[in-house]
């Protein structure tokens, strides 16, 4: 008989332990098996190998619905940030849920079009370095909005639209000079960053844009960073956006949209955290209070907040190793599969896929490392874990965002397969790469 799965507060019930019994008639020792939805992870590893990315469709749905409930009182569109996880299977799932998409490259736009061409009308195109080819493709696809980030880009977009005899709907991305209290590599809202325009420049550029018959002013955009766990910076950014919207309307511009960007963070540690619905509700309140009475359509660009906790990277222990008292566990996943620890020194909870019941009291401090020839190839330093043996399976949790999206073939390592679990069903949404895949384009 299964016990109610254990669950960390704030985490969707996508990855949870279920109890099973081993031995004749299952009357001997018990263990807990980590599942994704209703699917035990050991079976997936045996069938598909490791490393392996596993995603929960139910967790993705739950989080999309949490956003829609939190913003239900205002016109809004969730424009999922494709850079977080761009797998076509996940994009199709999100399109069926009614999401739009935030893209930052022509390649991401093409992924959206292949997932669901009808979704183009709910695409916003962000990024500081859009090429004319990318602008042309987006205009032909009929996207909703270009988030323009510089005066030069504004001119290039006007010329591109004129050549195609089309009109580009635009919002200028404002840099509100708001500190986001996040990792410096993913903070984007200060004047020292490459993103956006100062508010003092904006009114002049909006005036210039209004003089072009091939540009249509439609909104104001802002994005202050990623993995932001406090809502106060969002509120401050929206206060500055709301002030600008009032000024632009007084200048005679029609502002229909406010693109609030993304950046809402998730809890990566094993500490207690607010329930996700409560977290999103607080975020919604922070955004909506400054916008009250403006009657704008709100665009939101969540990425990590939707898919981060919905994914895990399964990996198998290859070897244990000791160096002068320091203990290492070498696994078959590496920094090329999940770069975040090496890139940001990011924390990911690591869970044994099989865990004795009751859990062992004995724990040991381990460095969990991969086989790549870099000292930076690690997933954890000095992490306290239950006893880990060669051949054991580990799950690196909260790996649904910026995991496979940042993966590479460093050391000529094929990238993992990806599977989408929905209840009891399992669908391979990306097969494991082969050596032929890696070498096909080389001569």
DSSP state of 225: B
For residue 217, the domain's CATH number is 3.20.20.10
The answer to whether the beta carbons of residues 186 and 406 sit under 8 Å apart is: no
Which tokens go with 35? 């599942």
Residue 100 lies in a domain: yes
Residue 66 lies in a domain: no
For residue 373, indicate whether it is catalytic. yes
The shares of helix, strand and coil residues in the chain, as percent rounded to the nearest 5, are 35, 30, 40
- How confident is the model at residue 6, as a pLDDT? 43
The answer to whether the beta carbons of residues 410 and 335 sit under 8 Å apart is: yes
The answer to whether the beta carbons of residues 15 and 25 sit under 8 Å apart is: no
Segments forming the whole domain that contains residue 412: 15-56+309-439
Among the options 36, 99, 160, 373, which is catalytic? 373
In a shared domain, residues 118 and 214 = yes
Residue 256 lies in a domain: yes
Q: Dihedral angle at the C-alpha atoms of 302, 303, 306, 312, nearest 10 degrees?
A: -160
Long-range own/partner contacts, residues 188-194 (CB < 8 A, 24 or more apart) = 188/223, 188/224, 188/225, 188/226, 189/222, 189/223, 189/224, 189/225, 189/233, 189/237, 194/128
Secondary structure E strands in 301-438: 311-323, 326-331, 350-352, 354-357, 364-369, 378-385, 393-396, 417-422, 425-430
Please enumerate in sequence order all residues whose Cβ is within 8 A of that of 68, keeping only pairs 6 or more positions apart, or say none: 76, 78
In a shared domain, residues 317 and 177 = no
- How confident is the model at residue 183, as a pLDDT? 43
- How confident is the model at residue 9, as a pLDDT? 47
The alpha-helical segments, DSSP class H, found in 253-401 are 276-291, 304-307, 340-344
- How confident is the model at residue 138, as a pLDDT? 98
In a shared domain, residues 167 and 51 = no
- How confident is the model at residue 8, as a pLDDT? 52
Which whole-number Å values give the CA distances from 302 to 1, 67, 176, 329, in the listed order?
A: 38, 9, 19, 34
User: In angstroms, rounded to a whole number, what is the distance separating the alpha carbons of residues 186 and 403?
Assistant: 15
In a shared domain, residues 38 and 87 = no
In a shared domain, residues 348 and 277 = no
Q: Tens-of-pLDDT digits for all 443 residues of the chain?
A: 333 334 454 566 789 999 875 554 444 457 899 999 999 999 999 999 999 999 999 999 999 999 999 999 999 999 999 999 999 999 999 999 999 999 999 999 999 999 999 999 999 999 989 999 999 999 999 999 999 999 999 999 999 999 999 999 999 999 877 655 544 444 443 444 445 687 778 889 999 999 999 999 999 999 888 788 889 989 998 999 999 999 999 999 999 999 999 999 998 876 566 789 999 999 999 999 999 999 999 999 999 999 999 999 999 999 999 988 899 999 999 999 999 999 989 999 999 999 886 666 789 999 999 999 999 999 999 999 999 999 999 999 999 999 999 999 999 999 999 999 999 999 999 999 999 999 999 99
The candidate with the shortest Cα–Cα distance to 253, out of 313, 206, 289, is 206
User: In angstroms, rounded to a whole number, what is the distance separating the alpha carbons of residues 344 and 402?
Assistant: 11
In a shared domain, residues 40 and 97 = no
Residue 62 lies in a domain: no
The answer to whether the beta carbons of residues 89 and 48 sit under 8 Å apart is: no
In a shared domain, residues 410 and 279 = no
Number of folded domains in the chain? Answer: 2
In a shared domain, residues 335 and 429 = yes
Residue 5 lies in a domain: no
From 249, 284, 302, the end of a domain falls on: 302
The alpha-helical segments, DSSP class H, found in 251-303 are 276-291
In a shared domain, residues 94 and 172 = yes
Residue 146 lies in a domain: yes
Predicted TM-score of the model (pTM): 0.92
Residue 8 lies in a domain: no
Which tokens go with 289? 């209070």
Residue 281 lies in a domain: yes
User: In angstroms, rounded to a whole number, what is the distance separating the alpha carbons of residues 269 and 397?
Assistant: 9
- How confident is the model at residue 391, as a pLDDT? 98
From 252, 273, 302, the end of a domain falls on: 302
- How confident is the model at residue 180, as a pLDDT? 55
Q: Dihedral angle at the C-alpha atoms of 291, 91, 55, 368, nearest 10 degrees?
A: -80
Which tokens go with 340? 């975040």
Q: Dihedral angle at the C-alpha atoms of 54, 58, 61, 63, nearest 10 degrees?
A: -80
In a shared domain, residues 224 and 326 = no
- How confident is the model at residue 2, as a pLDDT? 35
User: In angstroms, rounded to a whole number, what is the distance separating the alpha carbons of residues 382 and 367?
Assistant: 5
- How confident is the model at residue 189, as a pLDDT? 38
User: In angstroms, rounded to a whole number, what is the distance separating the alpha carbons of residues 353 and 27?
Assistant: 21
For residue 317, the domain's CATH number is 2.40.37.10
In a shared domain, residues 75 and 212 = yes
Supply the DSSP string of 154-193, one letter for each residue.
Answer: HHHHHHHHHHHT--EEEEEEEE------S-GGGB--STTS
Q: For residue 4, how many other CB atoms are within 10 A of its CB?
A: 9
Q: For residue 70, how many other CB atoms are within 10 A of its CB?
A: 21
Supply the DSSP string of 388-410, one letter for each residue.
Answer: --TT-EEEE-S-SSSSGGG---G
User: In angstroms, rounded to a whole number, what is the distance separating the alpha carbons of residues 238 and 334?
Assistant: 39
In a shared domain, residues 288 and 315 = no
- How confident is the model at residue 440, as a pLDDT? 96
From 254, 279, 302, the end of a domain falls on: 302
């Amino acid at each position: 008989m299964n016990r109610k799965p254990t669950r960390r507060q704030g985490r969707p019930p996508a990855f949870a332990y279920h109890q099973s019994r081993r031995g004749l008639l299952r009357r001997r020792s018990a263990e807990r098996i980590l599942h994704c939805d209703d699917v035990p992870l050991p079976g997936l590893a045996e069938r598909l190998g490791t490393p392996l990315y596993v995603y929960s469709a139910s967790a993705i749905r739950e989080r999309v619905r949490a956003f829609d409930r939190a913003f239900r009182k205002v016109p809004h569109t969730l424009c999922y940030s494709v850079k977080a996880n761009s797998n076509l299977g996940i994009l199709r799932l999100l399109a069926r849920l009614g999401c739009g998409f935030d893209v930052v490259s022509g390649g991401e736009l093409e992924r959206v079009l292949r997932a669901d061409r009808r979704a183009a009308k709910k695409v916003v195109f962000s990024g500081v370095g859009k090429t004319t080819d990318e602008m042309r493709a987006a205009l032909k696809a009929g996207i909703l909005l270009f988030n323009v980030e510089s005066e030069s880009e504004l001119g290039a977009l006007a010329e591109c639209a004129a050549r195609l005899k089309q009109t580009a709907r635009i919002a200028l991305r404002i840099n509100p000079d708001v500190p986001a209290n996040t990792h410096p590599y993913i903070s984007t809202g200060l004047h020292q960053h490459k993103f956006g325009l100062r508010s003092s420049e904006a009114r002049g550029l909006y005036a210039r844009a209004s003089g072009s018959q091939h540009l249509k002013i439609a909104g104001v955009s802002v994005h202050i960073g990623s993995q932001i766990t406090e809502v106060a910076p969002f509120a401050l950014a929206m206060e500055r956006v709301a002030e600008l919207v009032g000024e632009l309307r007084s200048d005679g511009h029609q502002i229909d949209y406010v693109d609030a960007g993304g950046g809402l963070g998730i809890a990566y540690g094993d500490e207690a955290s607010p329930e996700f619905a409560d977290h999103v509700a607080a975020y919604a309140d922070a955004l909506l209070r400054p916008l009250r009475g403006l009657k704008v359509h709100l665009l939101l660009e969540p990425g990590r907040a939707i898919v981060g906790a919905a994914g895990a990277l399964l990996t198998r222990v290859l070897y244990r190793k000791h160096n002068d008292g320091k203990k290492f566990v070498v696994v078959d996943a590496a920094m090329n599969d999940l770069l975040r620890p090496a890139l940001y020194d990011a924390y990911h909870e690591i869970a044994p896929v099989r865990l004795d019941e009751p859990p062992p009291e004995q724990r040991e401090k381990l460095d969990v490392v991969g086989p790549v020839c870099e000292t930076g190839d690690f997933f954890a330093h000095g992490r306290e874990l239950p006893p880990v043996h060669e051949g054991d399976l580990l799950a690196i949790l909260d790996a649904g965002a910026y995991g496979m999206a940042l993966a590479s073939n460093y050391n000529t390592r094929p990238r993992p397969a990806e599977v989408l679990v929905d209840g009891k069903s399992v669908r391979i949404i990306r097969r494991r790469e082969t050596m032929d895949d890696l070498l096909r384009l080389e001569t």
